[in-house]
Every structure is written in C-alpha cells, then in structure tokens.
C-alpha cells in the first residue's frame, strides 16, 4: 500500500464530503466576526475570496488530471517535479498527482531567494517547476539559468509569458486513475534541510517513509472522521504535511489557514469547528499575549469542540505550556519530535497521557526506536547527555548526491540527529540542545535551550535566543538576544537580576535587546544571529554587560 491509496479510498467512500478548506483572512472584511455574528452571516461560500473548499472526489480528480498531464508530456518514472507555492487548495493535489505518476515531488521553501531556488532545482535534478504568483520575479530572474527545467507551470491569474497555465492544461486531461503501479520501495520525494550551515541538503525518501508518517500520526493523535485539523505551517515542510496525513488516513476535513495572527487563528477554530490545532511556539505565545492584553475576548469564540493543541518543530518551553493549560484547561497537549531526515514529526512522541512530563519530547514513537549515545556510539548511562539517534521505517534513503554527508549521519540503520539529549529515570527524553549550538565556556558545556527556557519565565520577555560569543579568556561566553513584549519596557539590570536564580556559570554574560529571528517552521535562526553578532560588526550600543 502507498499513500495515494488513501486518497483514492476517500474519494470512493466520502466523495462529496469536504477534504480541504483554504481560508484567506486578508480577503475578509476588516471587522472581526464573532461566532454569534457568524451564525447570522453567510461566511461559508464555497468559492469566495475569503474561503475555498475542495471535496475528496475533486481532490482525487485534480490529482489524477495532473498525473495524466505529466505522463502526456512524455515524462518518465522518477522525473523530479518541483513545487514552489504558498499554502493553497492546489498544493496537495499537485503533490499527489506527482506521486500518482510515479514521479518525485520536490517541495521548495517559499522563502528561498532566486539563487537558492536555482541551487535546489539543480541539486534535485528537477525537470519541471510549478510556481505561484508570489514567485514570478524570482523565477524570471533565473529562468535562463536552470537548463534542467524543461517546463515552467504557473498556478494563478495572469500567467507570465515565460510559463504555461497549469490548471488550464490539466483541465484537458483525464480524471481517471493513471496506469502507474507504485510500491513502498519506489523513490517518492526530495525534501531539503533547513540549510543552517550553508545551502540545504537534498533528502531522498521512498514511499515507505510517507506511509510510515501517516500511520504514526494517526496512531499518536487518534484522528477520526469527526476531527477537523487546522494546518497553518507551510506545506513544503515535512511537519505540516505529515500531520495532515492523519486527516488523510481518517478521511476527515482539514483547514489551510493563510496567516498567523492570533485573531485569525481563533476565529478559524470557531468558524470551521476545528478540533486539532498544530502551533509553533511563537504563535502560541502570540495567542496568549493577545488574550492577556485584552485584544482577544475568549467569550466571542466557541471552543467546545477543540480537543487537542500540539506543538513541534523546535524545543517547547515548559513555561509556555503551563501558561496555555491555565487558559485552556480542557485541552489535551502533545508534542512530537522529528526531522526531515526522519520524515517529519513522530519519531519521538510525548503523548497526551504524559502531560505531567511537559518539557520532555517523550518516548520513541510508534514504529520507532531511539537511543542516546556518546561520541563513540555507545549508550550513555543515567541522565548523562549524549546525541539522540533514531531508527525506523521513516528514515531517509540518503542525502541525494552527497554520500559523504549521508555516511556522517546514517550508521548501521541509525540516524544521528545532531541533537543533544538526556533521559530521566522513567525513560523520557529531554532535548538539551543542538550539538553545534553547545557553548563551551571556561571548559564548561552550556546548553542554550536550558538557559532560554529559564529566561522565558520572565513575564516581560517575549522571546530569547542564546548564542556563544568569542571571549579571549573563556573561549566563549553566553549572550542572550532578548525580545521584549509589546508595550513593555525592560532594562538589562532587571534581566540580570532575574538570572541570579541560575548557577553563576549559566548566566548570560551579555544581554542584547533585539528581535529573535525564526524561520517558517518556528526554529530560531541562530546562524543569522551569529553572522550578525560574530561574523558582522558588533553594534556596541546594543550590547551591555
């Protein structure tokens, strides 16, 4: 069985039911609409600028049409099809159509610069690129310098003269299932690493990985036909798509929200009756801040159906979850750990039954094994810190065209994650930090995540990132980049006083007031901060201490 079989089953059994909804809050009226008002206003139009929806039958037909279009162009099995779109109703049918044709989907980060797009297209050996209106200028810039790309397909209005109209071409093709046999061993997708050490690596997965992700997600979160999943993170990333796979397995509705404002998130939960919401740390923080400030009145919303909030993609501060459960005491909470190399979330999983272990990433997930090892690959003992390694059917095949990098992280079937971790007496795994982010100060190992978790307890701090700065005496010192909440003022002295609760060697030696940059999946962009404060000129006026 392969992942596309679920789509065909859903179209057959639940054809007229809603599979996907796309919400575009920026197209809605300026006035916020409460759930009471929504009952009097028809906001559920199938094709308004604000809301679009797609049934399971139409989802399957669109995927088939795209698959048959690809085959009609004479493209062979194994052809790479790159997808450069923001979240929209077209995204998943194009992805599934590519898989149905026996070809490899190559999702691209929508924040890539023109140079990064060109690099990833070349590295993945993509032959065809599908892109949307947001990327016209970037593709125009490189169109003459991507010789492997034989076809440029456009999704949107006013097709540029250097591309073809994808949806129009698809409309002429059959909506029948294409005559292509697939197996779990076939190559399916190429994803890209976050690229924190330069240009990203190409991560090759087989169909088995996608099936693993679907089964793991549904097992962990128990999606049923009654659930409605709110998907906000970008679909190019494994996390968002693999969490949506739970909806695919259960044949339930999912909502793609194009925007992250707290008002938009809570309004969509109310109007679409969402039961499961996956958030990133900054969005959960923003929601709580908006509630605390009075900008959002919870009495204007209806949350009785909302059963689960889960967070992933980065370490989750325990203080944030403690605060969340005070505001939403009826919610189940969960967190999942994963990497693109392990097909996204789920190789380590907390579980809603283990909320008393908030702060841990959990236990090995369904179908997965996990160990913590020293530099020689031997298991560490007790609560000793070591590198987290995982093993399971969702591990990547390789870094495409990079055998040296593959050999560094794949050893005897185990994936070396680069994350430092430890276990407690009950076997629960706690992330300590990224291996490359550990700060060695005066011979002591400092783990930035531990310091960040502590500092976020200070009620004036919105976000914080800790990095190492060079020091002639200690080698490195810990510097805290601190982002203060809106409408708050805070001094260096207040922060230093708060940090007196930390052991002396863990206290930040410098405090820098600045915005904490995060990527689309919520991870702190520490290379950006290192470049700014180490590689670039240090702005002395911003640095105190």
Question: Quick one: pLDDT at residue 492?
Answer: 92
Question: Quick one: pLDDT at residue 198?
Answer: 59
Transcribe 364-396 into DSSP letters: EPTT-EEEEE-TTSPBP-TT--EEEEEESTTS-
Give the separation between CA 164 and CA 160, rounded to whole angstroms: 8
Query: What fold characterizes domain 439-544?
Result: GMP Synthetase; Chain A, domain 3 (3.30.300)
Return the CA Rg of the chain.
Answer: 24
**Cβ atoms of 254 and 19 closer than 8 Å:** yes
Q: Report strand pairing: 429-434 vs 398-399.
A: unpaired
Question: Quick one: pLDDT at residue 361?
Answer: 92
Q: Report strand pairing: 51-55 vs 18-23.
A: antiparallel
Give the separation between CA 434 and CA 237, rounded to whole angstroms: 20
Q: Half-sphere exposure of 38 toward its Cβ, with a 13 Å CA cutoff?
A: 18
Question: Quick one: pLDDT at residue 442?
Answer: 64
Residue with tokens 């997808």: 83
Domain residues of the chain, as ranges?
439-544
The H-or-E segment that residue 151 falls in is: strand 151-154
Give the separation between CA 103 and CA 462, rounded to whole angstroms: 44
- The 10 Å Cβ neighbour count of residue 224 is 11
Task: Indicate yes or no: pTM above 0.95.
Answer: no
Token reading at 149:
């790309």
Torsion of CA 116, 119, 125, 126, to 10 degrees: 30
What does the angle CA 199 – CA 204 – CA 207 come to, to the nearest 5 degrees?
A: 150
Residue with tokens 């405090």: 511
What region, left, alpha or beta, does residue 374 occupy, with left being phi > 0 and alpha being psi -120 to 50 degrees?
beta
**Cβ atoms of 420 and 433 closer than 8 Å:** yes
CA-closest candidate to residue 285, choices 506, 500, 518? 518
**Cβ atoms of 155 and 90 closer than 8 Å:** yes
Q: Half-sphere exposure of 515 toward its Cβ, with a 13 Å CA cutoff?
A: 5
**Cβ atoms of 405 and 374 closer than 8 Å:** no
Question: Quick one: pLDDT at residue 176?
Answer: 97
> Which H, E and C letters describe 410-471, residue by residue?
EECCEEEEEEEEEECCCCCEEEEEEHHHCEEECCEEECHHHHHHHHCCCCCEEEEEEEEEEE
Give the separation between CA 239 and CA 220, rounded to whole angstroms: 14
The H-or-E segment that residue 398 falls in is: strand 398-399
Task: Provide the strand spans (E) within 4-113.
Answer: 18-23, 51-55, 80-84, 104-107
Question: Quick one: pLDDT at residue 424?
Answer: 94
Question: Quick one: pLDDT at residue 45?
Answer: 37
For residue 308, what are the β-bridge partners?
276, 332
pLDDT tens-digit profile, the chain (545 residues)? 999 999 999 999 999 999 999 999 887 544 343 333 333 233 333 456 789 999 999 999 999 999 999 999 999 999 999 999 999 999 999 999 999 999 999 999 988 889 889 999 999 999 999 999 999 999 999 999 999 999 999 999 999 999 999 999 999 999 999 999 999 999 999 999 865 445 789 999 999 999 999 999 999 999 999 999 999 999 998 888 999 999 999 999 999 999 999 999 999 999 999 999 999 888 898 899 899 989 999 988 989 999 999 987 666 778 889 999 999 999 999 999 999 999 988 999 999 999 999 889 999 999 999 999 999 999 999 889 899 999 999 999 999 999 999 999 999 999 999 888 999 999 999 988 676 777 877 666 787 888 888 898 898 999 999 998 987 667 788 999 999 998 889 999 999 999 998 878 789 999 999 999 887 667 788 888 888 888 644 433 333 33
């Amino acid at each position: 069985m392969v992942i596309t079989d679920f789509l065909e089953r859903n179209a057959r059994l639940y054809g007229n039911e809603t599979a996907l909804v796309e919400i575009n809050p920026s197209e809605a009226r300026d006035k916020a609409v409460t759930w009471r008002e929504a009952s009097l206003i028809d906001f559920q139009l199938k094709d308004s600028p604000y809301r679009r929806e797609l049934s399971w039958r139409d989802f399957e037909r669109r995927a088939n049409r795209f698959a048959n279009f690809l085959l009609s162009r004479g493209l062979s099995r194994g052809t790479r099809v790159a997808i450069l779109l923001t979240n929209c109703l077209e995204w998943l049918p194009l992805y599934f159509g590519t898989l149905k044709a026996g070809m490899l989907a190559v999702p691209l980060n929508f924040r890539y610069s023109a140079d990064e797009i060109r690099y990833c297209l070349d590295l993945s050996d993509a032959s065809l690129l599908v892109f949307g209106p947001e990327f016209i200028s970037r593709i125009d810039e490189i169109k003459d310098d991507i010789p492997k790309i034989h076809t440029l397909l456009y999704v949107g209005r006013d097709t540029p003269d250097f591309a073809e109209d994808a949806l129009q071409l698809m409309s002429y093709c059959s909506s029948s299932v294409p005559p292509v046999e697939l197996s779990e061993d076939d190559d399916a997708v190429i994803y890209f690493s976050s690229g924190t050490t330069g240009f990203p690596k190409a991560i090759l997965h087989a169909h088995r990985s996608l099936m693993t992700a679907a089964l793991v997600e549904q097992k962990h979160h128990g999606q049923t036909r009654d659930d409605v999943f709110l998907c906000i993170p970008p679909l190019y990333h494994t996390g968002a798509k693999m969490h949506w796979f739970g909806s695919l397995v259960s044949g339930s509705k999912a909502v793609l929200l194009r925007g992250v404002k707290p008002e938009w998130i809570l309004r969509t939960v109310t109007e679409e009756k969402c039961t499961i919401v996956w958030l990133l740390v900054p969005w959960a923080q923003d929601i709580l801040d908006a509630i605390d400030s009075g900008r959002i009145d919870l009495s204007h919303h209806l949350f009785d159906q909302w059963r689960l909030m889960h967070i992933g993609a980065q370490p989750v501060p325990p203080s944030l979850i403690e605060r969340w459960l005070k505001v939403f005491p009826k919610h189940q909470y969960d967190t999942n750990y994963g990497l693109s190399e392990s097909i996204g979330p789920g190789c380590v999983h907390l579980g809603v039954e283990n909320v008393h272990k908030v702060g841990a990433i959990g236990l090995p997930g369904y179908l997965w094994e996990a160990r913590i090892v020293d530099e020689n690959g031997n298991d560490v003992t007790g609560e000793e810190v070591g590198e987290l390694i995982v093993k399971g059917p969702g591990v990547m095949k390789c870094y495409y065209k990079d055998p040296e990098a593959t050999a560094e992280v794949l050893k005897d079937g185990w994936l070396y994650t680069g994350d430092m971790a430890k276990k407690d007496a009950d076997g629960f795994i706690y992330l300590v930090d990224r291996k490359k982010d550990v700060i060695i100060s005066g011979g002591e190992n400092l783990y930035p995540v531990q310091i960040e978790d502590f500092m976020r307890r200070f009620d004036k701090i919105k976000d914080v990132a800790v990095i190492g700065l060079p020091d002639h005496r200690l080698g490195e010192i810990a510097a805290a980049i601190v982002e203060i909440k809106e409408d708050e003022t805070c001094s260096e002295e207040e922060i230093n006083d708060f940090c007196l609760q930390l052991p002396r060697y863990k206290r930040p030696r410098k405090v820098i007031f600045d915005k904490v940059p995060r990527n689309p999946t919520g991870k702190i962009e520490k290379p950006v901060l290192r470049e700014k404060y180490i590689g670039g000129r240090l702005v002395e006026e911003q640095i105190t201490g």
